[in-house]
């Protein structure tokens, strides 16, 4: 199975490296000419993942049509750009493995829904889990969920993408895998705020647990399974992303907690913090569906510039309730 990758950011590059194990040829589309040049001439992605030498069997291109000849395409553009890249060419019935974590602004669609609209003939799978790109590219042990409604295709993709240090777990819960990845980015911003404002480890754990309850409520309402929310692509990724400044979302939250503005923190950055885009979309989708998501609402308020003390005070002064659900 020849693999193509859309997106030459850190994650697309790391996944290309995984797919190139055993000297398999991989073709990667990158938007930035300097990324194409750096990979083809120096076997490294200087711009987004300079820490790891890449397999010489990875070829970069600026021509999306070059990916029409592969057997499966990993879609690793940021969530807000997936529609544009998938609308630029016709992938026919080539399977698309969606690796972005977010919800599209405006439509409130998950990336899978966007992909089905843009490429109606392509079977869809989702790859998600606790995966810092630099660790995966360095060959550190990692496990992910590979969700696909077509069980046979899911197993084939899981086997093709597995590597000695990259373990894939097949699932048929596509929506659950997507929702975990999208929601954890928003919660990671909240945990970063707790860190930046020095609110303590107790507060961070409380936020992870209550945030997980929100993620699960939202997931179940959209048809996800509880076991998926508690798995690699849900709780697993939530814990990772809420624990480390290696996370761009957590780091954004740290900056907010230190009193800097989202506008300042997000200006001029080349790398993506998906949670900043997903947070208001998630808040609105939850409100429309009558799903209580106070932590996500708090993150939106912080992104909008509300003082940390006011937002935390409002969260803590909510009426006491049972923990259940
Ligand atoms: N980095 C990780 O550790 C990691 C791990 C798992 C999932 N992800 C997810 O993968 C997706 C991509 O993140 P990343 O970390 O590879 O990106 P990145 O932050 O390393 O790089 C930014 C990417 O955005 C692309 N981009 C910017 N503007 C664009 C546009 N107008 N159209 C198309 N592409 C554009 C750039 O070309 C580049 O590929 C995100 O949804 C992220 O949540 C990232
Ligand atoms: O750096 P972040 O916050 O985008 O997180 C990267 C991955 O999603 C972690 O699994």
pLDDT over 90 (residue 182):
yes
Residue extent(s) of CATH 1.10.1040.10 domains in the chain: 175-316
pTM over cut 0.90: yes
- Residues taking part in catalysis: 184
Does 10 belong to an annotated binding site?
yes
Report the chain's C-alpha Rg in angstroms.
19
* Cα distances (angstroms) measured from residue 276 to each of 26, 58, 185, 226: 31, 31, 8, 25
Does 185 belong to an annotated binding site?
no
List pocket residues of ligand 1, CB cut-off 6 Å. Answer: 7-12, 31-32, 48, 76-79, 81, 84-85, 99-102, 131-133, 271-272, 274
**Pairing mode, if any, of strands 3-6 and 26-29?**
parallel
**Mean pLDDT across the stretch 259-279?**
95
Q: Average model confidence (pLDDT) for the chain?
A: 97
- Contact at 8 Å (CB) between 99 and 128? yes
Residue 244: nearest ligand to its CA?
2
Task: Please state, in angstroms and rounded to a whole number, the distance separating the CA atoms of residues 155 and 147.
Answer: 9
Percentage of residues in the chain with pLDDT exceeding 90?
99
Q: Which pair of structure tokens corresponds to residue 305?
A: 């510039």
pLDDT in tens, 26-57: 999 999 999 999 999 999 999 999 999 999 99
Residue extent(s) of CATH 3.40.50.720 domains in the chain: 3-172
> The domain at 3-172 falls in which architecture?
3-Layer(aba) Sandwich (3.40)
pLDDT over 90 (residue 325):
no
pLDDT in tens, 287-301: 999 999 999 999 999
pLDDT at 268: 82
Task: Please state, in angstroms and rounded to a whole number, the distance separating the CA atoms of residues 194 and 169.
Answer: 32
How much distance in Å is there from the Cα of 174 to the middle of ligand 1? 20
Fold of 175-316: 1.10.1040
Residue 35: nearest ligand to its CA?
1
> Look-up: residue for tokens 């602004």?
105
pLDDT category, 324, cuts 50, 70, 90? confident
Residues 6+ apart with CB under 8 A from 57: 20, 23, 24, 25, 26
How much distance in Å is there from the Cα of 320 to the middle of ligand 1? 40
Does 12 belong to an annotated binding site?
yes
3-state secondary structure of 314: helix
Task: Please state, in angstroms and rounded to a whole number, the distance separating the CA atoms of residues 99 and 103.
Answer: 12
């Amino acid at each position: 199975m020849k693999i193509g990758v859309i997106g030459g950011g850190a994650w697309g590059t790391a996944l290309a490296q995984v797919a190139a194990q055993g000297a398999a040829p991989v073709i990667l589309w990158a938007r930035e000419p300097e990324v194409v040049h750096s990979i083809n001439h120096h076997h490294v992605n200087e711009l987004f993942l300079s820490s790891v030498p890449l397999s010489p069997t990875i070829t970069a291109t600026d021509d999306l049509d070059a990916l029409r000849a592969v057997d499966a395409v990993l879609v690793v553009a940021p969530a807000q750009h997936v529609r544009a890249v998938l609308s630029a060419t016709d992938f026919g019935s080539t399977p698309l493995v969606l690796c972005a974590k977010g919800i599209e602004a405006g439509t409130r669609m998950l990336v899978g829904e966007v992909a089905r609209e843009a490429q109606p003939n392509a079977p869809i799978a989702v790859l998600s889990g606790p995966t810092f790109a630099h660790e995966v590219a360095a060959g550190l042990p990692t496990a992910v969920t590979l969700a696909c409604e077509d069980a046979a295709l899911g197993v084939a993709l899981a086997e093709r993408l597995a590597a000695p240090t990259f373990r894939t777990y097949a699932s048929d819960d596509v929506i659950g895998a997507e929702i975990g990845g999208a929601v954890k980015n928003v919660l990671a911003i909240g945990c970063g705020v707790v860190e930046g404002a020095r609110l303590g480890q107790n507060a961070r754990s409380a936020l992870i647990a209550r945030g997980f309850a929100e993620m699960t409520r939202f997931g179940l309402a959209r048809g996800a399974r509880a076991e998926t929310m508690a798995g690699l692509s849900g709780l697993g990724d939530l814990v990772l992303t809420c624990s480390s400044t290696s996370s761009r979302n957590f780091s954004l939250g740290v900056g907010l907690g230190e009193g800097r503005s989202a506008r300042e923190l997000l200006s001029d950055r080349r790398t993506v913090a998906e949670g900043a885009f997903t947070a208001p979309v998630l808040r609105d989708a939850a409100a429309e569906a009558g799903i209580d998501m106070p932590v996500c609402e708090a993150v939106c308020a912080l992104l909008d510039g509300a003082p940390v003390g006011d937002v935390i005070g409002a969260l803590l002064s909510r009426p006491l309730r049972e923990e259940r659900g």
